[in-house]
Amino acid sequence: MKNNYQIVRTDDGSLSLIYSSKQGRSEAMHHSGGAVEESLYIYLPAATWALEKTGALRALSIGLGTGINEFIMASECVKQNLPLKQVCIESYESEKWLTDSLTHWLTKSSESNELFDLYKQNLNKVCEQQKVSAYKVKGYLQDLFQNKHLVLNKALSESTDFESPFNCILYDFFSSKLDANFWQPEFINSFLKKASAQTCSFASYASTGALKRALKANNFVITKKSGFCGKRESTFSYKLNPTQIENSGHT
Ligand SMILES: C[S@@+](CC[C@H](N)C(=O)[O-])C[C@H]1O[C@@H](n2cnc3c(N)ncnc32)[C@H](O)[C@@H]1O
């Protein structure tokens, strides 16, 4: 494992990583109250919303980190018996070792590295909460990956273009203290224009003024959602296509 990362156990028993930058700033990938509990609370509703509205999942997950959001989405698809062809997850991660590590876990089960135990424990925890078999979910993730329905991409930037837009966006960058660029209105605005389909959910642990304004400017409805474990706010937002708006009685 890279020496500027450290594995930590959070209060629900699941594992997270703490990153320390060269400038001496540290940030955990999850709330100390529970990596899996937090991710289920913040990100699962975005996946279930997209599945309910469209019957398919075309998700954009940034960043991959320890892969909990990918485990959550796969667990929900298994729970709903969703055929692979109706699922596509594109994940972005700037740290190559994290992408390589998950790739190895999905493809070379005979080998092992420091993160394999973290994946196993976190997947078990997700599946326990979701009441599905961890064995089935790992198999589903492997099938998605082999069939290129789970794609692990490099860093996302302002120049990233997408083949087609997504119906579910999980916006899980580090905070603005570490990665200010991804929380600037101009970045979020042009990102949403490119990334979001007409029917789309959007979730983030963060809830900033700039994020809300950019979502509204891109026709998203903002809901009121508390943050995890006593944090003031988080973001769950969605937009419907015009026919769905008419049918749902929204004006
Ligand atoms: C808050 S953590 C994500 C946690 C992750 N969803 C999980 O469940 O473990 C933020 C992640 O974004 C990654 N990241 C930073 N800049 C990025 C970029 N430009 N594109 C994609 N990922 C990036 C970081 O390396 C880190 O893994």
Q: Which two tokens stand for residue 197?
A: 């389909």
Q: Which residue out of 2, 15, 36, 64 has the highest number of ligand 1 atoms within 8 Å of its CB and is therefore the one to mutate? A: 64
Residues 149-189 have pLDDT tens digits of 999 999 999 999 999 999 999 999 999 999 899 999 999 99
Residues 185-240 have pLDDT tens digits of 999 999 999 999 999 999 999 999 999 999 999 999 999 999 999 999 999 999 99
* 12 within a domain of the structure (yes/no): no
**Would you say the CB of residue 155 lies under 6 angstroms from ligand 1?**
yes
**Would you say the CB of residue 122 lies under 6 angstroms from ligand 1?**
no
What is the band of 249 on the pLDDT scale with cuts at 50, 70, 90?
A: low
For residue 23, is pLDDT > 90? Answer: no
**How many structural domains comprise the chain?**
1
Average pLDDT estimate for 136-143? 98
* 26 within a domain of the structure (yes/no): no
What pLDDT was estimated at residue 250?
Answer: 57
* 107 within a domain of the structure (yes/no): yes
Range of the domain at 221: 33-248
* 6 within a domain of the structure (yes/no): no
* 1 within a domain of the structure (yes/no): no
Cα separation of 27 and 18, whole Å?
6
CATH number at residue 201: 3.40.50.150
Alpha helices by DSSP H, listed for the chain, are 35-54, 68-79, 96-107, 116-130, 134-146, 185-195, 209-217, 242-248
For residue 53, is pLDDT > 90? Answer: yes
Comparing C-alpha atoms, which of 94, 24, 44 is closest to residue 65? Answer: 94
**Would you say the CB of residue 129 lies under 6 angstroms from ligand 1?**
no
What is the band of 39 on the pLDDT scale with cuts at 50, 70, 90?
A: very high
* 240 within a domain of the structure (yes/no): yes
Ligand 1 center–CA 173 separation, angstroms: 5
* 173 within a domain of the structure (yes/no): yes
What pLDDT was estimated at residue 22?
Answer: 85
What pLDDT was estimated at residue 170?
Answer: 98
Cα separation of 244 and 251, whole Å?
11
What pLDDT was estimated at residue 44?
Answer: 98
* 17 within a domain of the structure (yes/no): no
Cα separation of 22 and 83, whole Å?
44
Residues 85-127 have pLDDT tens digits of 999 999 999 999 999 999 999 998 777 888 999 999 999 999 9
Comparing C-alpha atoms, which of 174, 2, 197 is closest to residue 88? Answer: 197
**Would you say the CB of residue 176 lies under 6 angstroms from ligand 1?**
no
Which residue's alpha carbon is nearest to atom 21 within ligand 1? 93
Query: Quick one: how many helices (H) and strands (E) in the chain?
Result: 8, 10
For residue 251, is pLDDT > 60? Answer: no
Average pLDDT over the chain, rounded to whole? 95
What pLDDT was estimated at residue 48?
Answer: 98
For residue 242, is pLDDT > 90? Answer: no
